[in-house]
Amino acid sequence: MTSPAQRASRVLIGFTIALLIVLALGIRGDWVQITECNRLGCGYASTELVLLGSLCALSFYSWWILTRSPKAPFSDKISEIFDNLTEDELWSKLEQERLESNDVERISDAWAKLEVGIIEDETK
């Protein structure tokens, strides 16, 4: 069984590779221009190139955070979304949280009984 972080990293690397292919085919098919020339001269003016390149870099960076670097910026935010635990560990964590919630219910019932007892004593 794979963890949610491993599944997300596979999706991100697949998305990155697909973006790189689209970018390469766009440059090869001339619908993404690296340079644009006009009367004033040539320069970089392709919004498609910047958009695809930025998406590719962001996706690759997210993949890198999930798989390679535990101390990268924003890694604590991403690890809150995608746990790097196996399915068995997740189930045991959920079971532990369920048991703790039962303890909270028991404590809150005892607290409510204590409050009722105090109120009854004050009214007498």
What does the pLDDT look like over 19-54, one tens digit per residue?
888 888 887 887 766 666 767 766 665 677 778 788
Residues recorded for the chain: 124
Cβ atoms of 46 and 32 within 8 Å: the answer is yes
pLDDT score recorded for residue 74: 60
What does the pLDDT look like over 77-113, one tens digit per residue?
666 677 667 778 878 888 888 877 776 667 777 788 8
Does residue 33 sit in helix, strand or coil?
coil
pLDDT score recorded for residue 46: 67
Within 29-86, where are the H helices? Answer: 47-67, 75-81
Cβ atoms of 36 and 45 within 8 Å: the answer is yes
Give every CB contact of residue 119 below 8 A, 6+ residues apart in sequence: none
Average pLDDT over residues 56-63: 85
